[in-house]
A and B are shown apart, each in its own frame.
Chain A
């Protein structure tokens, strides 16, 4: 199997690394070789965060290449656009329909572009917008938006649903499990 690449991006504090850990564990469980990469440090203080996951029969680089990434899973709209050059020509972009203004925007130095979705539509092979933060909030905690997004990604990948659920049951602390299983289902069953 040719190596596949997934890029997960968003804002520090949105649960990006937890999501990419879950995804990596699922891929390992499904019998793939997996490499995951992330950058910590300054990004913990409200900066942008990227984590990449590559899987296949034999994976060398943990980093995806520009124009060769199969999926972008974005926790915030602007971050999808920031990383769009990684996407392959037929790549799929799954985006949380959510705006988190960068500080220079909030402080009035810069403007948040109004045409993010239009730009993404032009560049993506397929674009799915999902109100993951709202869906998670309706389930009781907007912090579960990362698992809503993982659910949506799962619905597009060829890995049995049971594998995802199994990893969730194993990795999520018991008191959050019910919320996370519901969040996963709401992403998995999402119809645009």
Chain B
């Protein structure tokens, strides 16, 4: 069979195809996003879709499983918090067709707000969890998950991590299994979780766990690797790979199915060694089971290895005092390179205006969270998906009760608004909040790499879809009268609207519209240039935090022509009218308005 280098996420997608999965859903989130983006390669065989959020995606996959079809749902670790409600019910209901739940955890928080260990969910929901250590296993585990799911009538979780999702290793490709033919057969006792049914289902779940524990002892991917010394390493996921680097002569028990924990297999392993190191990222899950299974054995775990961050061969060595980690170069004087809003980002003018008005917004999850970083520095909270609106309402009500009135501004993106902002806005309207909600509508889920959403007008499979218009949804649907829209590049109009709506003692929504610049950048746009005579080095334009703007040796503003998209925002904020559009020869054409921007080919 052919071998190919695949990322863990590509391997999951390949595994889904080989395993005869015919339904896949997800909400995008790093590091899980590319799973569905790769599943669309198999669109003749697999129906796939983005859900509005992880909960809807999970329920839709469960519905598909009810028909006997094999279903997969993918999300990042915090997404599973949103989908936890159906996850727990799905465990009681079981799986008619296989139900595979992918949770991509992010130890080290490369792009997340926490680093929770989602194996806890598998334990809490009483369902098996698989942990691949490379791409080959990621693919294999999807096939195994389907088998386990259908054999034991249970949803199965696969815990990926940023490292396994985004590493490429060789994978042997296989053929596709014939998928089962779906047919919906009613099963009231199993799928209607009225308390009378659910009590019986709970008993079934407990029995299932016992059977799965026996299975875990004999599961082929829970393997003992012989060593030369009486030292043992118990490891799961990518931590196994780090262990092999550090302990070349040790015995290994590598767990691809860490829960239910293979007690007997572990006890056999423990008898062969004098001391056991437990390597796993984040929390001591297998370690806890190991200590229970062999209380007399010397076990080295999280009292030595960190709970925080990713492991690596360096971290393991340093934890055991095996490597001096003192750097040769101390890193002094190396400025950081934080991410920033892109040149031409349609969110920039809004955050700049917040700075001018001295307002700290309550923020949310998306590209626009970067509005919190300097020089924009205009967002002081970011909690979770949708929390901008609800946190704002809580602040407002608590202050109001104490007789204080402060008008708050919440900011949320279009995809996050569809995900879980709508319910928060309903709370604001119902409970007579008075604050302003700004929805930054760039028609796409940009942060995770441009996935379609209900406002994009396209589905994951590229079909035309009805575009859900946020202005109409809020004004006509929720009946919020003070709903206005404005162009993301119109600095003055945004500021005037913000002032007007913040003064209003009623709730309001401002929808700031402009498609993501990365998708709609046109080659013929005329870049901006600085008139060095007019420029007084006042640095107002630098406060935009635009990556295309810096200063020259004389301290005058300088625009990088290859990065500039010609959005014109810097020209609008310059107090000395020193920035304007250049024509093709780099000559000034002296125009800074949106109309001339349109003439320059920007609209």
Q: Is the CB of A36 within 8 A of B375?
A: no
Q: Is the CB of B241 within 8 A of A60?
A: yes
CA distance A44 to B34 in the complex (A): 14
A1 on the B face (CB < 8 A):
no
CB neighbours of A11 from chain B (8 A): 337
CA distance A103 to B377 in the complex (A): 14
CA distance A112 to B553 in the complex (A): 13
Q: How far is the CB of A87 from chain B (nearest CB, A)?
A: 8
Q: How far is the CB of B36 from chain A (nearest CB, A)?
A: 15
Interface-facing stretch out of B48-56, B211-219, B411-419, B539-547: B539-547
Q: How far is the CB of A163 from chain B (nearest CB, A)?
A: 15
| Chain A 87-119 interface mask (CB, 8 Å, partner B; 1/0) | 000000000000001111111111111000001
Which A-chain residue is minimally distant from B338 (CB atoms)? A47
CB neighbours of B30 from chain A (8 A): 40-41
Which A-chain residue is minimally distant from B133 (CB atoms)? A60
Given A24, A38, A62, A101, which contacts B550 in the complex, CB threshold below 8 Å? A101
B62 on the A face (CB < 8 A):
no
A42 on the B face (CB < 8 A):
yes
| Chain A 64-107 interface mask (CB, 8 Å, partner B; 1/0) | 01110000000000110110110000000000000001111111
Interface-facing stretch out of A27-35, A144-152, A153-161: A27-35
A43 on the B face (CB < 8 A):
yes
Q: How far is the CB of B541 from chain A (nearest CB, A)?
A: 10
CB neighbours of A103 from chain B (8 A): 337-338, 340, 545, 547
Given A37, A45, A78, which contacts B367 in the complex, CB threshold below 8 Å? A45
Q: Is the CB of A66 within 8 A of B325?
A: yes
Q: Is the CB of A110 within 8 A of B335?
A: yes
Q: Is the CB of A108 within 8 A of B542?
A: yes
Q: How far is the CB of A48 from chain B (nearest CB, A)?
A: 4
The main secondary structure of chain B at its interface with chain A is loop
CA distance A89 to B549 in the complex (A): 38
B342 on the A face (CB < 8 A):
yes
Asked, given contacts A46-B340, A65-B314, whether A37 binds B328 with beta carbons under 8 Å apart, the answer is: no
Q: Is the CB of A36 within 8 A of B5?
A: yes
Q: Is the CB of A42 within 8 A of B242?
A: no
CB neighbours of A123 from chain B (8 A): 328-329
Q: How far is the CB of A94 from chain B (nearest CB, A)?
A: 18
Q: Is the CB of A45 within 8 A of B335?
A: no
Q: Is the CB of A12 within 8 A of B170?
A: no
Q: How far is the CB of A77 from chain B (nearest CB, A)?
A: 11
Q: Is the CB of A84 within 8 A of B329?
A: yes
Q: Is the CB of A62 within 8 A of B167?
A: yes
Q: How far is the CB of B83 from chain A (nearest CB, A)?
A: 21
CA distance A142 to B339 in the complex (A): 22
Given B329, B336, B341, B543, which contacts A102 in the complex, CB threshold below 8 Å? B336
Q: Is the CB of B314 within 8 A of A66?
A: yes
A39 on the B face (CB < 8 A):
yes
Q: Is the CB of A106 within 8 A of B329?
A: no
Q: Is the CB of A63 within 8 A of B312?
A: yes
Given A41, A60, A109, which contacts B244 in the complex, CB threshold below 8 Å? A60
CA distance A107 to B329 in the complex (A): 26
Q: How far is the CB of B339 from chain A (nearest CB, A)?
A: 4
Q: How far is the CB of B371 from chain A (nearest CB, A)?
A: 12
A18 on the B face (CB < 8 A):
no
A61 on the B face (CB < 8 A):
yes
Query: Which chain A residues (160-177) contact chain B, with CB distance < 8 Å?
Result: none
Residue count of chain A within 8 Å CB distance of chain B: 51
Q: Is the CB of A104 within 8 A of B168?
A: no
Q: Is the CB of A106 within 8 A of B170?
A: no
Q: How many A-B residue pairs have CB under 8 A?
A: 155
A25 on the B face (CB < 8 A):
yes
| Chain B 160-176 interface mask (CB, 8 Å, partner A; 1/0) | 00110011111000000
Q: Is the CB of A45 within 8 A of B341?
A: yes
CB neighbours of A111 from chain B (8 A): 333, 335
B455 on the A face (CB < 8 A):
no
CB neighbours of A40 from chain B (8 A): 30-31, 110-111, 166, 449
Asked, given contacts A46-B337, A108-B539, whether A37 binds B547 with beta carbons under 8 Å apart, the answer is: no
Please indicate which of the listed interface residues A39, A107, A142 has the most CB atoms of chain B within 10 Å of its own CB. A107
Q: How far is the CB of B109 from chain A (nearest CB, A)?
A: 10
Q: How far is the CB of A159 from chain B (nearest CB, A)?
A: 16
B206 on the A face (CB < 8 A):
no
Q: Is the CB of A106 within 8 A of B542?
A: yes
B469 on the A face (CB < 8 A):
no
Q: Is the CB of B337 within 8 A of A47?
A: yes
CA distance A62 to B547 in the complex (A): 32
Please indicate which of the listed interface residues B166, B238, B342 has the most CB atoms of chain A within 10 Å of its own CB. B166
| Chain B 302-333 interface mask (CB, 8 Å, partner A; 1/0) | 00000000001110010000010101110101
CA distance A40 to B35 in the complex (A): 14
CA distance A109 to B334 in the complex (A): 13
B60 on the A face (CB < 8 A):
no
Query: Which chain B residues (534-561) contact chain A, with CB distance < 8 Å?
Result: 539, 542-543, 545, 547, 549-551
Q: A28-B3, A81-B334, A123-B329 are in contact. List 18 more A-B contacts (CB 8 A).
A: A11-B337, A34-B170, A35-B134, A45-B342, A45-B367, A47-B338, A61-B312, A63-B242, A66-B314, A82-B337, A101-B550, A103-B340, A107-B375, A107-B543, A108-B542, A109-B374, A119-B329, A123-B328
Q: Which 7 interchain pairs have the tightest Cβ spacing?
A: A41-B111, A45-B339, A106-B550, A47-B339, A110-B335, A60-B244, A102-B337
Q: Return 29 A-B CB contacts under 8 Å, by A number.
A: A24-B5, A33-B170, A35-B169, A37-B163, A37-B168, A38-B166, A39-B110, A41-B30, A42-B110, A42-B111, A45-B340, A45-B367, A46-B337, A47-B337, A47-B339, A62-B167, A62-B238, A63-B312, A66-B323, A78-B335, A82-B334, A85-B329, A101-B550, A103-B338, A104-B335, A106-B550, A107-B374, A108-B542, A109-B375
Chain A residues in contact with chain B, CB under 8 A?
Answer: 11-12, 21, 24-25, 28, 33-48, 60-63, 65-67, 78-79, 81-82, 84-85, 101-113, 119, 123, 142
